[in-house]
């Protein structure tokens, strides 16, 4: 029995020696921020979703990129490489101004709008988990194949990124 306790004690001490300190976690987070700031603005994940997401990465994917006429086309996107700016109140502000363009399958521009929406938030931290939800009402559009292009303008830097999402509208 004593041998079992000694072995258990040895395992605990090895485990404690390999565990991270809060200072080490802070150093690694600083390295992530440093790499993040050098990363071009891009979109890590973009998906059509059903309803509203419950948080970062917490969404229900739409079954396909096919939508019934009158159904809202909702996109979820996770940008990476955006900046943060101090707002003078001890907080960091980050977010985007978004443009969109809708094209037919053969590339004809059917609708577009610059500064379609602005989404921004403030935080005590340089958050690296941030998502945006983009909603289109295609109620008047005829059934067919479309491509929506979203362009993100980082509000804290001059970085921009675009991503395309093809989809199809079908009769109800």
Q: What is the CATH number of the domain that holds 130?
A: 2.60.40.2550
Indicate if 34 and 113 belong to the same structural domain: no
Name which residue leads in pLDDT, 70 or 157.
157
| Residues 75, 132: Cα–Cα separation, whole Å | 8
| pLDDT (tens digit per residue) in 97-130 | 999 999 998 999 999 999 999 999 999 999 999 9
Task: Tell me the residue range of the domain where 19 lies.
Answer: 1-38
Instruction: Please indicate, yes or no, whether residues 61 and 133 belong to a single structural domain of this protein.
Output: yes
Whether residue 51 sits in one domain with residue 10: no
- For every residue of 43-77, DSSP letters joined together read EEEEEEEEEEEEETTEEEE-SSSEEETT--EEEEE
What burial class does residue 73 get, using C-beta atoms within 10 Å of its C-beta: 0-12 exposed, 13-18 middle, 19+ buried? buried
Q: Which helix (H) or strand (E) holds 38?
A: helix 22-38
User: Distance (Å, rounded) from C-alpha 66 to C-alpha 168?
Assistant: 5
Same domain as 44, residue 27: no
Of residues 76 and 2, more confidence is placed in 76
Number of domains the chain contains: 2
Q: Are residues 30 and 92 in the same domain?
A: no
Percent of the chain with pLDDT over 90: 81
Same structural domain for residues 15 and 91?
no
Contact yes or no for 90/82 (Cβ under 8 A): no
- pTM for this entry: 0.84
What backbone torsions phi and psi does residue 71 show, to the nearest 5 degrees?
-75, 140
């Amino acid at each position: 029995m004593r041998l079992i306790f000694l072995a258990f004690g040895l395992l605990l001490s090895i485990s404690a020696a390999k565990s991270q300190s809060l200072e080490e976690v802070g150093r690694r987070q600083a390295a992530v921020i440093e790499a993040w700031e050098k990363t071009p603005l891009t979109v890590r994940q973009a998906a059509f979703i059903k309803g509203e997401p419950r948080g970062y990465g917490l969404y229900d994917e739409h079954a396909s990129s096919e939508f019934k006429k009158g159904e809202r086309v909702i996109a979820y996107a996770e940008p990476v490489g955006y900046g943060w700016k101090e707002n003078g109140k001890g907080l960091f502000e980050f977010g985007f101004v978004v443009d969109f363009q809708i094209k037919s399958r053969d590339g004809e521009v059917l609708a577009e709008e610059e500064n379609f929406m602005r989404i921004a938030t403030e935080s005590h931290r340089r958050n690296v988990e941030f998502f945006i939800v983009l909603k289109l009402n295609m109620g008047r559009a005829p059934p067919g194949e479309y491509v929506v292009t979203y362009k993100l303008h980082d509000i804290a830097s001059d970085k921009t990124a675009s991503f395309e999402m093809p989809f199809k509208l079908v009769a109800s």
